[in-house]
Amino acid sequence: MTQALRKLVIGCVLLVGAGCSGAGGGGATQTPQELTLHEVADIIRSATGPTGKGPTKVSDFDKFASVYSRAYEAAKSGEVVVIWGGTVKGEGDMAQGGDVIAYEKDAPANGGYVLLTSGEVKKMSAADFNAAPKGGKK
């Protein structure tokens, strides 16, 4: 009987886990670019100092490289361009909109995914990207 109960509990856990969605919610599948930019938001939050000053260079991410390896490598390689000096709101403060704080390297010419200071990741056309306000040091 305990074997059957164990299988039932494991089955329930797997069903509940399968119903949970990843970052961004809604159960929609995210592209690798979206996942990378969500991780960039996390590494920016982690590298933001206690005074609220955002990271100013890729080496500010060094101590978080093992935790956020995808974001670190994307920023270091230039695959994702980070607008240095800005911050991303905490997960509890997230809203829609905000300034662009990071983006795919081809976004200015071809459009692509961007990270906003609100923590939102969205796809923009090149025209929308170029017209969008940019975060970072003012």
> Could you read off the pLDDT of 86-101 as tens digits, one per residue?
899 866 655 667 899 9
Q: If you average pLDDT over residues 120-133, what whole number do you get?
A: 96
Per-residue model confidence (pLDDT) at position 131: 96
User: Per the domain annotation, does 9 fall within a domain?
Assistant: no
Q: If you average pLDDT over residues 124-137, what whole number do you get?
A: 92
Secondary structure of residue 71 in the 3-state scheme:
helix
| pLDDT > 70 in the chain, percent | 73
User: Per the domain annotation, does 78 fall within a domain?
Assistant: yes
Query: How many folded domains does the chain comprise?
Result: 1
CA distance 44 to 99: 14
Secondary structure of residue 88 in the 3-state scheme:
coil
CA distance 76 to 89: 22
Q: If you average pLDDT over residues 73-95, what whole number do you get?
A: 86
User: Per the domain annotation, does 22 fall within a domain?
Assistant: no
User: Per the domain annotation, does 138 fall within a domain?
Assistant: no
User: Per the domain annotation, does 65 fall within a domain?
Assistant: yes
Q: Which residues pair with 134 in a beta bridge?
A: 100
Per-residue model confidence (pLDDT) at position 113: 98
CA distance 89 to 42: 10
pLDDT per position as a tens digit, 9-40:
454 444 444 444 444 445 579 999 999 999 99
User: Per the domain annotation, does 51 fall within a domain?
Assistant: yes
Per-residue model confidence (pLDDT) at position 98: 87
C-alpha distances out from residue 103 to 7, 89, 92, 137, Å: 45, 16, 22, 16
User: Per the domain annotation, does 117 fall within a domain?
Assistant: yes
- Structural domain that includes position 85: 30-131
User: Per the domain annotation, does 18 fall within a domain?
Assistant: no
